[in-house]
Chains A and B, each alone.
Chain A
Amino acid sequence: MNTPVLSARNVHKHFLAGHGETIQAVNDVSLDVVENEFICIVGPSGCGKSTFLRMAAGLESLSQGEILYRNQPVRAPRREIGMVFQEYSLLPWRTVRDNVSLGPEIAGRSRAERDAVAREYLALVNLGDFASAMPHELSGGMRQRVAIARALANKPDVLLMDEPFGALDAHTRILLQRELLRIREHHKTTIVFVTHGVDEAVYLADRVVVMTPRPGRIRTVLPVDIPRPRDRADPAYARLTAAILDMLDTETAAPATAKEEESCPSQASM
């Protein structure tokens, strides 16, 4: 039970910026994620947390160190490691149903099987009635639920989530956090969830990984020993949230280069 599903060992990542200087994005990150664990990585923007997640998905190469999925190095994307992106990840020309069944379609399943899978997972995220809708007809929160259904429909062993609720309004975000925990009840999965919301991390995670600003390294890993469903008014909850915020605060007091985050070289190349 306690063998790590995903394991990062001394992972480094540097980019070559346009003007020829190297940018250290991730610095010596080591982390073990065990079966069915819910990990949240929280840190200021520009700390390389998304880059780390992309490396774990096999979408980005490592500069140093290794990331292992069940003792095999991750070098390219694989079906066992799913990922949910922040937004605009649904294919806008496909119906919700055909978006959810993209994974089985790529795997070469028949139309009937694909539709059955889509029905099952849309029901799981409570969007059974929207199978024939187009993505642009849905609200932002519904689109992210479809994105989650699509990732799960591929039956991944680990689910990586890159600020999946980051673009949603505060109320919808809270609803989706609750929804995600409910889905996880039905559907045991190991989750690594990147966010810049401390409250979100404390609400969701078994363990919160706090990162420092660039170059991103792990500052500390905090277990969240509050039983679910968690109550935001619980003093323990508030204490933990405040402690993490405090940590991030002292870190960002140093000259921050947060502005550059949105244009990580890898993202800007196309």
Chain B
Amino acid sequence: MQHKLLSLCLPLLAPCLFFLFWEYAATAIDNELILPPLEQIIALLAHPGENLISMGTLAGNIGISMVRVLSGYALAVMIGVPLGVAMGYYGGLFRLLNAFLGMFRPIPPLAWVPLVLAWFGVASLATLANLPRGELYFYCNNLKLSMLFIIFIGALFPVLTSSVHGVRTVNRTLIDSARVLGATEKDIFLKILLPAASPSIVNGLRIGLGVAWMCLVSAEMLPGSLSGVGYLITHAYTVGRTDVVIAGMISISAVGALLDFGFQWIEKRKYAWKQLSR
């Protein structure tokens, strides 16, 4: 019992020490620009609906950021998963594309920024679709093509690589045993390859979403952006609101962890067999 209590408290120890140290340092430095006290951040986080330095609310900015990330990410998933599965299954396609895609893989998403700006400028989904000015225009104008591209390119490679890997490492015997039962190519694809590869694919989706979320700040630093957590952070820095910077960082961390937790939950529930059958 005592042991259990201790092991439950152990993960809380480091954060508690960290916050204590923070409080101490903030008091010692006594400069809000360098390190604002903890309670100031908590106050900001406790009122996410409050209008901050005329840039909208914390909650609203998080919402806009999430829509951006999810749009770019959805694009990466729609292209990455089918392409990855096809590349994993057809050796010819793999040979054709693997080295080519490998050239782009090491490029950090941020390094694309200048090129992306040259291509897309401040064009958004709204200008692309030629929407009339109105509420819908306002929302879609927040989805700049340049941002979507940065997020897309960040999420694409983890999703693609895991899909290729998942399909390529499917046990040959499983495929053979379905073939001797009379399975067609379609059966093998739907009944063997996809289920067998799905733990790896879902793991790629999870990593991809994490990366997409991390590309957020760089994407929201692009010109034309007037909202989003990334923008909030950089703008707050220029007006000397370090407390808003930190509150934004904490929000990014919290949302990222939440998204990741969702995927972990799916993995635990649906893919227990993967762990257990090794």
A154 touches B182 (CB 8 A): yes
One digit per residue, 1 when the CB lies within 8 angstroms of any chain B CB and 0 when it does not, for chain A 227-270 equals: 00000000000000000000000000000000000000001001
Q: Which residues of B contact A105 (CB under 8 A)?
A: 191
C-alpha gap A160/B180 in the complex (Å):
10
B173 CB–A CB distance under 8 Å: yes
**A154: shortest Cβ distance to chain B, in Å?**
5
Task: Judge if B46 is at the interface, Cβ distance under 8 Å.
Answer: no
- Shortest C-beta distance, B41 to chain A (Å), equals 45
Residues of B within 8 A of A78 (CB): 182
Decide if A91 touches B180 in the complex (CB within 8 Å). Answer: no
Closest to B179 in A: A77
> A1 at the A/B interface (Cβ < 8 Å)?
no
A-B residue pair count with CB separations less than 8 angstroms: 77
Chain B residues within an 8 Å CB radius of A79: 181-182
Tell whether A111 is near chain B: CB-to-CB under 8 Å: no
CB under 8 Å from chain B, chain A span 64-112:
77-79, 81-83, 85-89, 91-93, 102-103, 105-107
Q: A91-B174, A267-B172 are in contact. Are A154 and B277 (CB under 8 A)?
A: no
**Interface contact A92-B179, CB-CB below 8 Å:** no
Residues of B within 8 A of A88 (CB): 171, 173-174
Q: How many residues of A contact B (CB 8 A)?
A: 33
B195 at the interface (CB under 8 A from A): yes
For B174, the chain A residues whose CB sits under 8 A away are 88-89, 91
CB distance from B94 to the nearest CB of A (A): 11
Q: Are B277 and A92 in contact (CB under 8 A)?
A: yes
What is the minimal beta-carbon distance from A5 to any residue of chain B, in angstroms? 16
B177 lies within 8 A of chain A by Cβ: yes
Interfacial chain A residues near B196, Cβ < 8 Å: 91, 93
A107/B182 in contact, CB under 8 A = yes
Determine if B30 is an interface residue (Cβ-Cβ < 8 Å). no
Picked from B177, B191, B271, B274, the residue with its CB within 8 Å of the CB of A89 is: B177
Q: Does B59 contact A (CB under 8 A)?
A: no
Q: Is the interface of B mostly helix, strand, loop or mixed?
A: helix
- Tell which of A59, A78, A89, A91 has the most Cβ of chain B within 10 Å: A91
Minimum CB distance partner of A80 in chain B: B182
Q: In chain A, what residue has the closest Cβ to B181?
A: A103
For residue B168, CB closer than 8 A to chain A, the reply is: yes
Chain B: how many interface residues by the 8 Å CB criterion? 24
- Cβ contact of B180, chosen from A77, A87, A134, cutoff 8 A: A77
B154 CB to closest chain A CB (Å) equals 30
Per the bound structure, the CA–CA distance linking A231 and B277 in Å amounts to 37
B192 CB-CB contact with A under 8 Å = yes
Chain B positions 178 through 199: 1 when the CB is less than 8 Å from some CB of chain A, otherwise 0? 1111111001000110011000
Residues of chain B from 219 to 273 with CB closer than 8 A to chain A in the complex = 271, 273
Complex interface residues of chain A between 122 and 156 (CB less than 8 A to chain B): 134-136, 147, 150-151, 154
Evaluate contact between A57 and B180: CB separation under 8 angstroms.
Answer: yes
Q: Contact between A136 and B182 (Cβ–Cβ < 8 Å)?
A: no
Using A91-B192, A106-B191 as known contacts, say yes or no to A154 and B181 having CB atoms under 8 A apart.
Answer: yes
Measured CB to CB, the closest approach of chain A to B95, in angstroms, equals: 13
Q: Please state if A103 and B182 are interface contacts (CB–CB under 8 Å).
A: yes
Contact between B181 and A136 (Cβ–Cβ < 8 Å)? no
Any A CB within 8 A of the CB of B276: yes
Known contacts A91-B195, A93-B195: A85-B177 contact under CB 8 Å? yes
Asked whether B180 lies within 8 Å of A81 as measured between CB atoms, the reply is yes
A77 vs B45: C-alpha distance when bound (angstroms): 63
Contacts A/B (CB < 8 Å), 29 sampled: A59-B176, A59-B179, A77-B182, A78-B182, A81-B180, A82-B180, A82-B181, A83-B177, A83-B180, A85-B173, A85-B176, A85-B177, A87-B173, A88-B171, A88-B173, A89-B177, A91-B191, A91-B192, A92-B273, A92-B276, A92-B277, A102-B181, A103-B181, A134-B273, A134-B277, A135-B273, A151-B181, A154-B182, A270-B172
Closest 4 CB pairs of A and B: A92-B277, A79-B182, A136-B277, A103-B181
**Could you tell me which A residues sit within 8 Å of B by CB distance?**
54, 57-59, 77-79, 81-83, 85-89, 91-93, 102-103, 105-107, 134-136, 147, 150-151, 154, 160, 267, 270
